[in-house]
Amino acid sequence: MYSESRSEKLHNEDAFYSGNTIWIVVDGASALCGGDLMKTGSDASWLSHAICDARQALADCASSIEDNLKSVLRALRDQFPACRDAMIPSCALAIARVNSDRRALEYFVLGDCSLMIETDKDVLVFSDPAVGTFDGKVIERMQQLVLEDGGSFLAKRQDQRIKDMLLSNRMMKNNPKGGYSIADLNADWFSSVQGELPLENVKRFALYSDGFDQLQSFSTMDNRAFLIHLFESPDTVIDELFVFQDEDAVCSRLPRLKKRDDTTLVLVDQTDFCS
């Protein structure tokens, strides 16, 4: 088993838990307005870490991961100051859980965190592409503005037209009419990626935030080659990603909204959950 999370910010808005029966990666996102109502430095960081701290509740196999998560979020809502919805943080997440009674690996994914599972037959990837689709449209618009107005790609992030587009995208949170599902304190997402696999068919798996997902895009590896690489060099792959990002600091090779995001990786081998 291997796990690591890095951030260049004062408060890492990614969080993770790596245990014996449950594994969690959470990528927090700041609210549209405000960002530190809990007085911890970052409400997004508070939310992601609070979800990981609730691992015992999430690991209770008497209920589904989704039902447990909703209960956890509603309890956290009671701790959060009364405010407008625009001031509530949100997060993407990936959770894998061993259900011993069912002899199954259960999984639940919201947003653009990823769960990559190697089975006895294939390598499966579970993630929700909706958030990435919204980001992709922003990136396309930034590229268009460079062609029209000149200047650098990353500088367009500060263009008011891009800021307005990002704001409009964030307002589509948990909107079933063309929006995207994400976890927040209202626990009212409209879709998710969830299911289970027979435990005997699972060889190993990886959970990671979208900040780490960039490594596969940089490396252009297919899913199987990428997973093999992660397990062969677990303690160097984040360094490898950072080198790619430093070499592409202007985001020309891999267009993205920032040079580097919070980065989290959890790797779990069969011996970690079948011992």
For 93, 115, 116, 240, the CA distances from 208, given in Å and listed in that order, are 9, 7, 9, 15
Nearest to 58 by CA among 28, 114, 99: 99
- pLDDT tens string 69-108: 999 999 999 999 988 888 899 999 999 999 999 999 999 9
Q: What is the pLDDT of residue 275?
A: 58
User: Looking at the chain, how many residues does it have?
Assistant: 275
Virtual torsion, Cα 153, 158, 164, 167, nearest 10 deg: 100
Handedness of CA 141, 145, 151, 155 (dihedral sign): negative
User: Residue 44: pLDDT above 80?
Assistant: yes
For the residues 237-252, what does the mean pLDDT come to? 95
At a CB cut-off of 8 Å and minimum separation 6, what does 99 contact? 61, 105, 106, 196
Q: What is the pLDDT of residue 85?
A: 84
User: Residue 235: pLDDT above 90?
Assistant: yes
The C-alpha atoms of residue 272 and residue 105 are separated, in whole angstroms, by: 13
The C-alpha atoms of residue 123 and residue 116 are separated, in whole angstroms, by: 7
The C-alpha atoms of residue 81 and residue 254 are separated, in whole angstroms, by: 39
In this prediction the pTM is: 0.94
Cα 6 to chain center, whole Å?
14
- pLDDT tens string 143-196: 999 999 888 899 999 999 999 999 899 889 999 999 999 999 999 999 999 999
